[in-house]
Amino acid sequence: MIKPTWRSKHLKDEDGIIIGSNQTQEWLLPWWWENYTRHNRFSVVFVDFGLSNEMKQWCRDRGELIQGPMIDQFVMDRDEIDPILAETWEGHYGDHFWGYRKTWFQKPFACLQSPFRRTIWLDNDCEVKKPLDPLFDSCDQPPNIALVRDSNSASSSFPIYNSGVIAFQRGAPLIEEWAKKSLQRNDQYRGDQDLLSQIIREQDVRVHELPNIYNWPNYQNIHPEVIICHWIGDLGKAFLHTQIILRDHC
């Protein structure tokens, strides 16, 4: 059973957004906020995964800031993982992901801390291009969670769901199971979404599959119907960083 202290103590009867970051990627938050508020006014909870003091205040000025659960000590380092498995991951994905794993596996615990009745989790590299109202309705039916199938899912023997955008209802059992298994099995999975997809497979959970316009990878041609564009990976972040610098100096 997940410790009660990892659940929000201040529940709200409203819909809202939750987003987390650490100091390494906090430069994305102003860009994210600018895009989000252009189309939406839902309350936002920022989860502190290790922000700078300046950015903590920035978050407090715009929404609620909560401390992320300190579970990173439970996330196995490379030298604690089966060498063959570690080499397999690196063969498929390169080795840059090792620095992200401790933050990735905090995501399910951050979701448990959401105070909202219905929540949308967004990665901080998600560009919100339109109103998000319809996305909340997608988690109304059991199992009360909605996801987009990952664009690379075709290379897997079972569906992989991208955890960059998640719509879920308070008390969704899958979120709690995801958190529990993140503690118990993180040495078996490269990241949080690989584990989440495996749980969905093992337990035959019929999640609501969202159309990919709600989590559109940046490397595909963006069209007018896209609601959320996800700037995935180091290349996506590098492009955003360049665009932000150019914009700020024009």
Q: Parallel, antiparallel, or unpaired: how do β-strands 118-122 and 161-169 relate?
A: antiparallel
| 62-70, Cβ contacts within 8 angstroms, sequence gap of 24 or more | 62/33, 64/115, 66/8, 66/113, 68/20, 68/106, 68/109, 68/110, 69/6, 69/106, 69/109, 69/110, 69/113
pLDDT number for residue 186: 95
Domain borders along the chain are 14-248
Domain 14-248 has CATH 3.90.550.10: yes
Rounded CA-CA distance 243/245 in Å is: 5
pLDDT band at 154 (very low <50, low <70, confident <90, very high): low
Q: What residues form DSSP beta bridges with 17?
A: 44, 120
pLDDT band at 6 (very low <50, low <70, confident <90, very high): low
Section 92-120 average pLDDT? 94
Q: Which helix (H) or strand (E) holds 11?
A: none
pLDDT band at 153 (very low <50, low <70, confident <90, very high): low
Section 237-249 average pLDDT? 86
pLDDT number for residue 5: 44
Tell whether the model's pLDDT for residue 7 goes beyond 90.
Answer: no
pLDDT number for residue 88: 94
pLDDT band at 157 (very low <50, low <70, confident <90, very high): confident
